[in-house]
Amino acid sequence: MLGKFFKKPHDDLGGRVPPGQTLAARFPVLTYGPTQHYSPQEVVVKITGLAEPRQFTWADLLALPQATLTHDIHCVTHWTKLDMLWTGVRVTDLMQQVQLRPGASHVMQRSVGGYTTNLSLEDFVRPENLLAHTYNGQPLEAEHGGPLRLVVPHLYFWKSAKWLTELEFMDSDRPGFWEKNGYHMRGDPFAGQRYDDD
């Protein structure tokens, strides 16, 4: 009986669902433009800008430690999906291999097909962020960014580039594709940072 009265309110599942979001059962696809199709052997992540230039191939990425993490994902179009299981290389492990130059403070993610999105290094270099190649134990489907995408769960999902091919380090914040089109420069779902005037 008592349990009935002492149960926590679960509308926001203990604070896991940001304001204005509703739970998605399936995994929606959101792409501006066409899905990119290429094989893992063609994956290259180029390090450019304010860093020693280098490239990570598929083999290079698989030679780094692999992590499997469970994340809640929040999209600016109001869906939240809980407990998504991702496998890949932690950004922190990748960055052990990257030599930044003085002044680097931000990064532009660039995708095959031209999508871009910007992050501060503080938001980029976090232990939960992944260069993900596997979702729910299966190779990441092309429509969701396979062979390789970024997953930055603490920000809206537009901050996670699908078909990642370049990380350009910068000495200031510059807008990526959606940010140029009115989206917020940071995109914190719990602060409701959807548009640039939020």
Ligand X SMILES: Nc1nc2c(c(=O)[nH]1)N[C@H]1C(S)=C(S)[C@@H](COP(=O)(O)O)O[C@H]1N2
Q: Examine residue 31 and tell whether it contacts ligand X (CB under 6 A).
A: yes
User: Closer CB to ligand X, residue 42 or residue 52?
Assistant: 42
> What proportions of the chain, in percent to the nearest 5, are helix, strand and coil?
20, 35, 50
- Binding to Mo ion by CB under 5 A, coded x per residue (else -) over 129-168, reads -----------------------------x----------
* CA dihedral of 121, 125, 131, 132, whole degrees rounded to 10: -120
Query: Which part of the chain contacts ligand X (CB under 6 A), choosing from 45-53, 58-66, 90-98, 108-116?
Result: 108-116
Query: Which part of the chain contacts ligand X (CB under 6 A), choosing from 41-49, 85-93, 126-134, 152-160?
Result: 152-160
Residue 167: exposure state from Cβ atoms within 10 A (0-12, 13-18, ≥19): buried
Smallest distance from ligand X to CB 170, Å = 19
Q: 65 preceded by cis ω (within 30°)? A: no
Q: Examine residue 154 and tell whether it contacts ligand X (CB under 6 A).
A: no
Smallest distance from ligand X to CB 7, Å = 32
Q: Examine residue 162 and tell whether it contacts ligand X (CB under 6 A).
A: yes
Smallest distance from Mo ion to CB 43, Å = 23
What span, in angstroms and rounded, lies between the C-alpha atoms of 158 and 180?
Answer: 13
**Interacting residues of 75 by C-beta distance below 8 A, sequence separation 6+:** 28, 30, 156, 157, 158
CA nearest 156: which of 83, 85, 73, 87? Answer: 73
Footprint on this chain of Mo ion (rule: CB under 5 A): 30, 75-76, 158
Footprint on this chain of ligand X (rule: CB under 6 A): 28-32, 75, 111, 113, 115, 144-145, 157-158, 160-163
